[in-house]
């Protein structure tokens, strides 16, 4: 009798797991990265006239279609930036395994463009409109002369 009850419980659990909807599977796309993220920047520029520590904050908006806009305030080598919030525009691509790459430029033309690689982490609750949310993005800048990492969290 105990075996029958345990077998019934196992079948119930297996049935529930197999009923998980397809959208709950962990497969990412550009649409997986949608909305505003607050990003903390740390590291250093290791070459060039601005070599030294870099620390800052950033707000980036990912549109779910591969485009991004952002503003940042970064302290380079202890120097306050010439503008309070520096805007940037760019593109991004999310792979099915939730890794990705972004490239952005600064419209002022005074700062070099950057490329970074990222991983979407902390898969969370569904957001409005039944979109599953990633609460965090882990970033490493992949541009020569930069040794910078960043961590972002979604703004709800």
Q: How confident is the model at residue 48 (pLDDT cuts 50, 70, 90)?
A: confident
Tell me the pLDDT tens digit for each residue of 75-126: 999 999 989 999 999 999 999 999 999 999 998 877 788 999 999 987 655 4
Within 13 A of 1's CA, how many CA atoms are on the CB side? 0
Report percent pLDDT > 70 for the chain.
76
* Residue 11, pLDDT above cutoff 60: no
pLDDT value of position 156: 67
Q: Which CATH architecture has domain 23-154?
A: Beta Barrel (2.40)
* pTM across the whole model: 0.77
Q: Binning pLDDT at 50, 70 and 90, where does residue 19 land? A: very low
């Amino acid at each position: 009798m105990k075996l029958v009850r345990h077998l019934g419980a196992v079948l119930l659990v297996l049935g529930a797991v197999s009923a998980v909807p397809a959208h709950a599977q962990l497969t990412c796309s550009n649409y997986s990265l949608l909305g505003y993220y607050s990003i903390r920047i740390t590291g250093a520029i290791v070459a060039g006239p601005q070599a030294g520590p870099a620390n800052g904050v950033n707000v980036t908006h990912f549109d779910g279609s591969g485009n991004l806009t952002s503003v940042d305030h970064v302290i380079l080598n202890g120097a306050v930036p010439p503008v309070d919030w520096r805007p940037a525009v760019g593109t991004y691509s999310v792979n099915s395994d939730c890794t990705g790459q972004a490239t952005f430029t600064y419209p002022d033309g005074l700062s070099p463009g950057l490329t970074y690689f990222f991983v979407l982490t902390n898969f969370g609750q569904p957001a409005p409109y039944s979109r599953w949310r990633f609460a965090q993005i882990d970033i490493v800048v992949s541009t020569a002369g930069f040794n910078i990492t960043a961590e972002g969290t979604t703004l709800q």
